[in-house]
């Protein structure tokens, strides 16, 4: 069994700007365990989100390599990377609405997420697990932000992804809604799903099984 | 199919604006293409219709004449043979003896006898009306004092049962094919000419006594429905030619009037099609660019969903397909609506509403191709856009930069120079057959449009540069203007797009209507100047006074011709009343005039005294730009003048009726200006640029909608900036002024530049697009004031509506909306 679901080796990410090249991430090497909740912590602008996009194979690093379940991804084509994303990765964005398809109801959102990974989902069962029973036919817009974000993790669950990554999942929620999301994350981690979260929320950081601190694009010593 | 794709068509309903824009874009796009197909096909029908109106419709089916004089005793057998050979086909046979001295009850006169089945149903009876006897023309009845019931040739002719009004020009349709036989050419053949005495039956014609018979002329016509399309005309020609083939050898003349019209009509359709093609293609490209823009906006609006699907492993191809599934149905609906609109609006933009069979199917096929192209563009744009947004995010859009940097206006300017060269060379190429249609050079016709396109592209580029540099403008003392400039600069892309389409729209409308109008006027004026007036008839030199009914709008003129020299004898008192209107000082008509480019020296023409005019005019009716004008009082003997005519501004029928009623004899040399000049080349250009005007109107709709949409899409930004401006003390009136300034600048620039470009290009082109350069005058740009007023009024209306939308956005903005902004 692979001990680490994701590994970064000397990863660097540069962006071109009108003012010249800006390094967002420099020489980050880290291993994400195959279980538990891993948190990339750091203040705004520290490179958490960039690193999360690299880990989720959404963005190619300028330098260095990314391994998913021991497989190098540097030389993979866009199509091959899409295939990996489809099967193995679930990414949850900061804004709850960005994780759901607004014109589909709750049940169809779960089914669509599962379909994308080639899987079948028992909608009622997942909604029960999320604490959202009886909402399958609801419009997404009828849910609160917290409910929407929990449903987003429900979609990740429905995809049965190898790893779930989330970018600041509580930052746009009030405290009680954020609590519900934290519960969901903890629950996912308990089920053995590796979860990687970029956050500066202290309560979420406190839940971390593994924690990487980032400062100015690099791992803090 | 996965759920997000399956649900895509329904998802379209979540954005009515995108839905509407997609439908309208496809509607306009398919309208343009379908209209181009329908218009060029209708041009063929219009060409056939125009030419048929110039011809005798009774003779459209190929027909036969024997004018060598068949011995009368063989006529019955000949007619029987024709009837048997043509069994099953409606055939109309006319038989005419030649003029012979005939005794009608003691007084002898020249008369010719004839029979044509149904003739008595198509004559105007003056006395009697029984169909079992002779029908005598009034001219003979008056000459011989013949009464009803009398019998000629000592009782050997049937009794006279009717006296009818002589058949005169212009002939009704049933008689026109028989004009040569039934209308006496009184002036040419003098007393030998006579109208026909009609026999009651074929048998009575065969049984005419030998002293009034002899050589007999026979006509065989085939009444047929008038063809309405080129294909129908071609079928009539082909079928008719085959039908008469078995009996053709028995006749010395075959009349086949449709040969040239069919060829001309086909050529016209080809000419119009090739002439409208360049602008149709440009409009098509603009339309497809519009489809791409709609897709880009869709991708921006659906960005979150597309990113989610992409993160979940969908590629650009699948996401492009997602766009097709959402926007495809509106495109199909718009395409169908465009086809329907093109068919319904056919009477508005096409020269004829008659379409050959299969034309609508062809148009539908073209629309299918266009809709399919739109779907391909939607797919490609969706795929490319998502590829750029997600797969290669952060990298610059090199293709866009290259496309923007390319000097397209130089390319179109080079094409315009090349087209101008073609205009200079020929404009309209020479005809290959006598009476045929000149081949119209589509490249030459494209010149004014290429000028407008070049100017539109140049304007868009200059506007873009000006907006980029506008941050230097410091007009804070006039905040309404300063804010308007900043808003324009912030929306530089849409602004230049609207400006480009706006200039193109105004330019094409102006060019189209200017050239179409110039051709319409040119045909009218050239025809009038060529014939001298609306109608004319040759009269005897003895006629010195106009009949009462013609006074005030007619005149008598004499024509003297010798080789290539022509002089006109005019009556200064009445000439300007009867001649086609033209500019001349009436005093000049009282002395001899030199016209156009004839030499200044003394000239001697038959019947005229030697003349050496001091006065000169550039052109004159009938003479064009070469000849002499002599006042009536200069001539000594009217009989010495070659020929005399009545010119009238009345229709020919009214004029000849008036002459006949007054007992004035006139020859078969009659005519009207409408049939004097081959009008098809003029009409081809007129129809082509009529369509250009229609396309310009479509572009104007596109530009207007784009402007209104640009304002509506910017609703929240307008609301936000308006709220801030209001907080800073900008009053509602100043805000309205600011939006009027902003939108008025775009619309005003489009109108001014479009009109200027069209004025220059049509000013150069109109005189060159002269299908009949030997006839005066040269085509001129028509009065543009009505167009100017319409364009400005339309632009002002659009600007007012757009400004109202913008100001309403500020006033109706919700607090939450402003906070989120």
Whether the CB-CB separation of A146 and A181 falls below 8 Å is answered with: yes
**Residue B561 phi, psi dihedral angles, 5° rounding:** -130, 135
Predicted local distance difference test score (pLDDT) of residue B190: 53
Alpha carbon of B470 to those of A146, B474, B803: distances in Å? 46, 9, 22
Closest among B493, B586, B529, B501 to B296, alpha carbons compared: B493
Chain B partners of A73 at a C-beta cutoff of 8 Å? none
d(CA B815, CA B820): 9
Predicted local distance difference test score (pLDDT) of residue B415: 93
Please name the residue of chain B whose CA is at the shortest distance from the CA of residue A161: B312
Interface test with A, best of B12, B301, B312, B322 (most A CBs within 10 A): B312
DSSP code at position A180:
H
**pTM of the shown model:** 0.85
CB spacing of B313 vs A87 below 8 angstroms: yes
The helix/strand/coil state of B599 is coil
Q: How far is B7 from chain A (nearest CA, A)?
A: 8
**Residue B592 phi, psi dihedral angles, 5° rounding:** -60, 145
Alpha carbon of B461 to those of A156, B455, B492, B509, B755: distances in Å? 49, 10, 11, 22, 18
Measured at the alpha carbon of residue A188, what is the angle toward residues A187 and A191, in degrees to the nearest 5?
90
pLDDT of B369-427, one tens digit each? 999 999 999 999 999 999 988 887 666 667 777 877 888 899 999 999 999 988 887 65
CB spacing of A101 vs B4 below 8 angstroms: yes
ipTM of the complex: 0.94
Closest among A176, A202, A164 to A37, alpha carbons compared: A164
Give the pairing type, strands B160-164 and B125-128: antiparallel
The helix/strand/coil state of B251 is coil
d(CA B709, CA B16): 13
Task: Give the residue carrying structure tokens 């300028």.
Answer: A62
Predicted local distance difference test score (pLDDT) of residue B727: 77
- DSSP of B270-338: HHHHHHHHHHHHHHHHHHHHHHHHHHHHHHHHTHHHHHHHHHTT--HHHHHHHHHHHHHHHHHHHHHHH
Q: Is A150 on the interface with B (CB under 8 A)?
A: no
d(CA B782, CA B515): 8
Give the pairing type, strands B626-631 and B643-648: unpaired
Mention every residue, 6+ apart, whose C-beta is less than 8 A from residue B74. Answer: none
Q: How far is B387 from chain A (nearest CA, A)?
A: 10
**How many C-alpha atoms does B359 have within 13 Å on its Cβ side?**
25
pLDDT-derived band at A221 (thresholds 50, 70, 90) equals: low
Cα maximum dimension of chain B:
115
pLDDT of B143-192, one tens digit each? 888 889 988 888 889 999 999 999 998 988 899 999 989 988 777 655 56
d(CA B206, CA B115): 9
CB spacing of A112 vs B307 below 8 angstroms: no
Please name the residue of chain A whose CA is at the shortest distance from the CA of residue B387: A78
Predicted local distance difference test score (pLDDT) of residue B821: 41
Predicted local distance difference test score (pLDDT) of residue B529: 93
B9 token code pair = 């068509």
Q: How far is B397 from chain A (nearest CA, A)?
A: 13
Task: Give the residue carrying structure tokens 């090199």.
Answer: B398
Predicted local distance difference test score (pLDDT) of residue B114: 96
d(CA B817, CA B716): 7
pLDDT of A114-169, one tens digit each? 999 898 989 998 898 888 888 999 999 898 888 898 899 899 888 888 899 999 88
Q: State which residues of chain B have pLDDT below 50.
A: 430, 820-821
Give the DSSP H/E element, type plus range, for residue B685.
helix B680-713
- A141 C-beta neighbours (distance < 10 Å), count: 10
Q: Which residue in the set A15, A85, A98 is minimally distant from B312, CB to CB?
A: A85
Q: Is A91 on the interface with B (CB under 8 A)?
A: yes
B672 token code pair = 């009207």
Closest among B51, B701, B61 to B351, alpha carbons compared: B51
Predicted local distance difference test score (pLDDT) of residue B143: 84
d(CA B579, CA B178): 31
Task: Give the residue carrying structure tokens 């891993």.
Answer: A38
A84 token code pair = 């990996």
d(CA A107, CA B409): 54
What is the dihedral angle through the alpha carbons of B359, B361, B364, B365, rounded to the nearest 10 degrees? Answer: -100
d(CA B690, CA B351): 9
Residues in chain A: 221
d(CA A186, CA B750): 63
Chain A partners of B314 at a C-beta cutoff of 8 Å? 82, 86, 116
Q: Which residue in the set B309, B391, B393 is minimally distant from A78, CB to CB?
A: B391
Q: How far is B818 from chain A (nearest CA, A)?
A: 19
Predicted local distance difference test score (pLDDT) of residue B433: 56
Whether the CB-CB separation of A210 and A41 falls below 8 Å is answered with: no
Predicted local distance difference test score (pLDDT) of residue B471: 86
Predicted local distance difference test score (pLDDT) of residue A180: 82
pLDDT of A72-91, one tens digit each? 888 888 889 999 999 899 99
Q: Is A206 on the interface with B (CB under 8 A)?
A: no
- B80 C-beta neighbours (distance < 10 Å), count: 11
Interface test with B, best of A84, A89, A116, A153 (most B CBs within 10 A): A116
d(CA A135, CA A110): 11
Please name the residue of chain A whose CA is at the shortest distance from the CA of residue B390: A58
Q: How far is B378 from chain A (nearest CA, A)?
A: 21
d(CA B695, CA B682): 20
């Amino acid at each position: 069994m692979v001990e680490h679901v994701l590994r970064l080796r000397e990863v660097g990410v540069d962006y071109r700007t009108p003012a010249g090249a800006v390094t967002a991430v420099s020489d980050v090497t880290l291993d994400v365990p195959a279980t538990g909740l891993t948190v990339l912590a750091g203040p705004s602008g520290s490179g958490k989100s960039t690193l999360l996009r690299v880990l989720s194979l959404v963005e190619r690093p300028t330098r260095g390599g990314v391994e998913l379940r021991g497989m190098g991804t540097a030389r993979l084509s866009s199509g091959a990377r899409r295939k990996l994303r489809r099967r193995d990765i679930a990414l949850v964005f900061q804004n709850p609405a960005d994780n759901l398809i607004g014109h589909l109801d709750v049940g169809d959102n779960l089914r669509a997420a599962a379909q994308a990974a080639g899987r079948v989902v028992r909608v009622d069962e997942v909604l029960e697990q999320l604490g959202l029973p009886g909402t399958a036919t609801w419009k997404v817009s009828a849910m609160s932000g917290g409910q929407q974000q929990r449903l987003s993790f429900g979609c990740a669950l429905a995809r049965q992804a190898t790893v779930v990554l989330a970018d600041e999942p509580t930052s746009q929620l009030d405290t009680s809604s954020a609590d519900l999301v934290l519960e969901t994350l903890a629950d996912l981690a308990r089920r053995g799903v590796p979860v990687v979260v970029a956050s500066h929320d202290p309560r979420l950081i406190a839940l971390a099984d593994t924690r990487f601190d980032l400062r100015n694009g690099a791992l803090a010593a | 199919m996965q759920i997000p794709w399956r649900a895509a068509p329904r998802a379209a309903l979540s954005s009515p604006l995108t839905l509407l824009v997609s439908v309208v874009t496809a509607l306009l796009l398919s309208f343009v293409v379908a209209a181009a197909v329908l218009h060029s096909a209708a041009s063929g029908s219009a060409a056939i219709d125009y030419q048929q109106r110039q011809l005798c419709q009774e003779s459209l089916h190929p027909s036969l004449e024997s004018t060598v004089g068949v011995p009368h005793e063989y006529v019955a057998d000949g007619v029987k043979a024709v009837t048997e050979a043509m069994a099953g086909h409606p055939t109309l046979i006319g038989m005419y003896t030649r003029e012979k001295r005939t005794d009608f009850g003691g007084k002898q006169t020249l008369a010719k006898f004839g029979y044509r089945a149904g003739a008595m149903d198509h004559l105007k009876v003056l006395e009697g009306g029984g169909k079992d006897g002779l029908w005598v023309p009034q001219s003979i009845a008056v000459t011989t004092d013949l009464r009803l019931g009398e019998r000629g040739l000592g009782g050997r002719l049937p009794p006279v049962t009717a006296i009818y009004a002589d058949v005169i020009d212009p002939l009704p349709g049933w008689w026109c094919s028989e004009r040569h036989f039934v209308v006496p050419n009184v002036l040419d053949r003098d007393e030998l000419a006579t109208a026909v005495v009609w026999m009651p039956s074929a048998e009575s014609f065969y049984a005419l006594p030998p002293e009034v018979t002899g050589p007999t002329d026979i006509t065989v016509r085939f009444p047929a429905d008038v063809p309405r399309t080129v294909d129908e005309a071609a079928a009539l020609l082909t079928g008719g030619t085959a039908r008469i083939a078995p009996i053709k050898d028995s006749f010395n003349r075959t009349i086949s009037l449709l040969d040239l019209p069919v060829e001309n009509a086909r050529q016209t359709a080809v000419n119009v099609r090739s002439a409208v093609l360049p602008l149709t293609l440009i409009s098509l490209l603009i339309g497809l660019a519009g489809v791409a823009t709609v897709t880009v906006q869709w991708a921006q609006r659906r960005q979150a969903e597309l990113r989610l699907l992409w993160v979940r492993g969908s590629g650009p191809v699948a996401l492009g397909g997602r766009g097709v599934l959402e926007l495809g149905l509106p495109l199909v609906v718009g395409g169908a609506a465009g086809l329907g609109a093109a068919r319904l609006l056919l009477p508005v933009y096409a020269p004829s509403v008659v379409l050959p069979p299969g034309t609508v199917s062809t148009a539908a096929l073209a629309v299918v191709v266009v809709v399919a192209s739109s779907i391909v563009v939607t797919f490609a744009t969706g795929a490319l856009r998502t590829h750029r947004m997600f797969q290669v995010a952060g990298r610059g859009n090199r293709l866009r930069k290259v496309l923007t940097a390319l000097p397209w206006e130089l390319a179109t300017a080079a094409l315009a120079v090349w087209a101008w060269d073609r205009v200079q060379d020929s404009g309209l190429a020479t005809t290959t057959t006598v009476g045929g249609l000149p081949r119209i050079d589509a490249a030459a016709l494209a010149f004014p449009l290429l000028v407008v396109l070049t100017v539109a592209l140049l304007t868009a580029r200059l506007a873009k540069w000006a907006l980029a540099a506008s941050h230097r403008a410091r007009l804070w003392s006039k905040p309404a203007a300063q804010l308007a400039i900043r808003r324009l600069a912030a929306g530089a892309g849409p602004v230049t797009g609207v400006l480009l389409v706006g200039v193109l729209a105004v330019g094409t409308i102006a060019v189209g209507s200017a050239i179409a109008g110039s051709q319409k006027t040119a045909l009218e004026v050239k025809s009038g100047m060529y014939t001298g007036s609306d109608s004319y008839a040759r009269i005897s030199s003895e006629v010195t006074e106009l009949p009462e009914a013609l006074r005030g709008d007619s005149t008598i003129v004499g024509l003297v011709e010798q080789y290539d020299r022509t002089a006109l004898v005019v009556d200064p008192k009445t000439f300007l009343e009867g001649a086609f209107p033209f500019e001349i000082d009436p005093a000049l008509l009282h002395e001899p005039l030199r016209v156009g480019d004839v030499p200044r020296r003394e000239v001697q023409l038959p019947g005229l005294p030697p003349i050496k005019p001091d006065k000169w005019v550039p052109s004159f009716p009938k003479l064009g730009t070469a000849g002499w004008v002599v006042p009536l009082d200069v001539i000594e003997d009217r009989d010495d003048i070659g020929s005399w005519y009545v010119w009238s501004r009345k229709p020919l029928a009214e004029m000849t009726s008036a002459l006949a009623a007054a007992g004035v004899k006139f020859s078969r040399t009659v005519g009207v200006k409408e049939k004097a000049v081959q009008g098809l080349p003029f009409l081809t250009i007129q129809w082509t640029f009529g369509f250009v005007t229609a396309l310009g109107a479509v572009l104007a709709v596109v530009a207007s909608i784009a402007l209104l949409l640009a304002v509506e899409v910017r609703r929240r930004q307008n609301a936000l900036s308006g709220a801030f401006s209001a907080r800073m003390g900008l009053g509602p009136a100043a805000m309205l002024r600011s939006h009027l300034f902003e939108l008025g600048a775009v619309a005003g620039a489009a109108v001014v530049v479009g009109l200027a470009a069209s004025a220059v290009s049509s000013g150069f082109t109109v005189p060159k697009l002269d299908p009949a350069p030997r006839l005066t005058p040269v085509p001129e740009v028509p009065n543009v004031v009505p167009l100017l007023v319409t364009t400005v009024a339309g632009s002002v209306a659009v600007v007012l509506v757009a400004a109202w939308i913008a100001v309403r956005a500020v006033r109706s903005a919700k607090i939450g909306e402003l906070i989120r902004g």
